């Protein structure tokens, strides 16, 4: 039976994905979450977790923040681990810098979630037009919304995110991957990796 399995660096990523999956597909196949305790834990346990997963029809999506590493190196390292685990079809998605970049790419969603007036109007500020390039999106979001907390904030923001938003290319590619994976017309979807 087809199922989608997310392997995630942290609980805030799960909170965000849980908020967008039902908006992409009203009745998705089973969705499972394997949440790690940070990027080192994800990288240390990824091969073992993938090898131990017994459903041959599972579609795996591995997600990690880029932080200050080289995005391509992070992705290649995770792809290699997936292949070593016998799951070369697993999709790896890297949040450029951090999950908060995706929220900064949709300030209308942040405004709706927190009721902070005037945020959406700042979307055309230079740094928010393409926030994947921001050095420290966590700090930037905290500056805009001091009450933001990673897990709680992700739960609040996710239902408001514009799923067609392309200001963050890494978010766009994650949503496209989820849409393709959840497609009811494609029971045994094996993704082709091209984009970061």
Indicate yes or no: pTM above 0.75.
yes
pLDDT in tens, 128-185: 999 999 989 999 999 999 999 999 999 999 999 999 999 999 999 999 999 999 875 4
Cα–Cα distances in Å, from 142 out to 40, 51, 154? 24, 38, 13
Residue 11 in contact with residue 151, Cβ under 8 Å? Answer: yes
Looking at residue 183, what is its pLDDT?
Answer: 76
Task: Indicate the CATH number of 3-98+167-182 among 3.40.50, 3.30.1490, 1.10.1760, 3.30.420.
Answer: 3.40.50
The CA-to-CA distance between both ends of the chain, in Å, stands at 28
Q: How far apart are CA 46 and CA 9, in angstroms?
A: 10
Residue 26 in contact with residue 51, Cβ under 8 Å? Answer: no
Give residue limits of the domains in the chain: 3-98+167-182, 99-150
pLDDT in tens, 93-138: 999 989 999 999 999 999 999 999 999 999 999 999 999 999 899 9
User: How confident is residue 195, by pLDDT bands cut at 50, 70 and 90?
Assistant: very low
């Amino acid at each position: 039976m087809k199922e989608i399995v997310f392997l995630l660096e942290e609980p805030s990523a799960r909170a965000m994905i849980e908020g967008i999956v039902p908006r992409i597909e009203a009745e998705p196949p089973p969705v499972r979450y394997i949440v790690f305790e940070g990027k080192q834990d994800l990288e240390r346990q990824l091969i073992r977790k993938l090898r131990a997963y017994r459903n041959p029809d599972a579609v795996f999506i591995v997600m990690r923040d880029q932080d200050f590493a080289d995005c391509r190196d992070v992705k290649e390292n995770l792809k290699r681990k997936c292949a070593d685990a016998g799951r070369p079809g697993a999709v790896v998605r890297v949040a450029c810098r951090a999950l908060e970049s995706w929220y900064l790419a949709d300030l209308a969603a942040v405004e709706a979630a927190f009721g902070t007036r005037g945020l959406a109007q700042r979307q055309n500020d230079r740094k928010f037009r393409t926030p994947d390039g921001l050095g420290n999106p966590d700090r930037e979001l905290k500056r805009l919304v001091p009450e933001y907390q990673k897990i709680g904030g992700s739960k609040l923001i996710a239902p408001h995110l514009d799923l067609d938003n392309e200001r963050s290319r890494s978010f766009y590619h994650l949503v496209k991957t989820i849409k393709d994976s959840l497609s009811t017309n494609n029971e045994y979807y094996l993704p082709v990796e091209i984009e970061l």
